[in-house]
Amino acid sequence: MMNLSNKKKLELDNLVINLAKKLAKIEYVEEVLALNETYYKPCSVAVSYPALCVLFSELNYNFPQYNFDVCAHRYLERVNNSLLQNNIYDISLFDGLCGVGFAANCMSDNGKQYQSFIRNLNEHILNIADRNMLKYKKMPLNETIYDIMYGLTGIVNYLLNFKSESRVKNTLSNILQYLVDICTISIDGVPKFAIRVNQSQMFSLSNNSRMRYVNLGVAHGIPGILLILCKSYELGICVDNQLEAIKYLSEYIFNNCVKNNNTIFWESQKIIGIENYEAVPARDAWCYGTPGVAYSLLIASKLLDNDEMNKLAIDAMKLSLNRLREVISPTFCHGLSGLCCLARKFHEYTNDNYFYEMYIKLLKNILDLYSDQYPFGFINKEVEKGQITNKNEIGLLIGTTGVILTILSCYRPIKTQWDSIFLL
């Protein structure tokens, strides 16, 4: 955390509480979101009500006098009503039932509340996860099968909260074994985690079924797999060849770093099957680009005790934070909040004062984007067709919730471990 003056802490407290009071008004929130003319899945922690459940749970620990737990409960009721009215089979972490479970777990006061709700939800999640695994083993690979957003990495990240339960542990083992098995080389010498472009739901490169690519973003690519394999390994949930998979993934990421013109970066995807193409750097963000990828290497380097990998992660992150390519939004996914939290984690792991200074600078940059004229205090900025668009969002991924939680984490200890959803 930052060493801030009491005056600054009080100023930030007031900002956070005032925004929370706005977000506590459900009708107000719904009216603002309606202006976006966008459908928001009620069960999506990325963009909808579960994010506010997480936010108000964290706020309740810090400001119990405001009864923010009541606000969290009201939003969970909205989510539950939607679940009762619809048969939902999406168990993804950021868009489905695992995200709802994550929110309820944050609300549970360390396992004391909402236990019946969580148990019933988890039983449904496990049933679907086990069925999905049978399908995935027969399907061509794409990101939505394995990634943290919609796929198996995110499901593992959620289920690790219940790793002591025997059925959960069995499902975890099955999923982890699948992830480990794709972290090897196929008979044609190409990594099994490479995706054929005609199977991709992320990139339109070609209709050539022989052309493949490796997704290098944390949100949808192999750095996310690396982080979850490291996390589960350190928690003692291991399967055959898991350490070898961690080594293979980290070495692949290490070796596919692009170094030119005194800079270091990773592409969004490594294309396999095209010779001498020009590598294009991704934006500097948590979701894609150097910051998230460098963090995955930092974590792996600690586990593997690899100094060379550790140095590359640190050097790459410093260059990234100096340039901040295409960073225009205060939000978490591809904006300043994600970078602020990554700078905090780099400082915690390295004790390098540079990261502490950047941590402070990034918080200032976030606060500079605040306006009391915005309905939720902050807006999500995107570049669409060459134009910057602004939207009022509430989600953990692209909305004010992620921004407020980041601000709070800069000067108050995290209570709900909300940042674990991002594999931090």
Binding-site residue positions for Zn(2+): 287, 333-334
Residue the block writes with tokens 């796929």: 151
**Degrees (nearest 5) of the Cα angle 336, 338, 340?**
65
Q: Is 210 helix (H, G, I), strand (E, B) or coil?
A: coil
Q: CA torsion 271→322→364→383, rounded to 10°?
A: -40
* Closest-CA residue to 233 (of 176, 170, 294): 176
142: tokens are 């794409």
Contacts of 332 (CB under 8 A, 6+ apart): 286, 338, 341, 396, 397, 398, 402, 403, 406, 422
Please count the other Cβ atoms lying within 10 Å of the Cβ belonging to residue 224: 30
Beta carbons of 279 and 249 less than 8 angstroms apart: no
Q: Which residue bears the tokens 């050539």? A: 208
> Beta 387-391 vs 258-260: how paired, if at all?
unpaired
DSSP code string of 216-241: --TTTSHHHHHHHHHHHHHTT---TT
Whether 344 and 405 have beta carbons less than 8 Å apart is answered as no
Order of all β-strands in the sheet with 269-272: 195-196, 212-215, 269-272
- Secondary structure (DSSP) of 165-206: SHHHHHHHHHHHHHHHHTSSB-TTSSBTT-EEGGG-SS----
CA separation, residue 401 to residues 30, 256, 378, 406 (Å): 15, 34, 10, 9
Q: How far apart are CA 79 and CA 334, in angstroms?
A: 26
Binding-site positions read 287, 333-334
Query: Which helix (DSSP H) or strand (DSSP E) does residue 388 occupy?
Result: strand 387-391
Structure tokens at 329: 């939004």
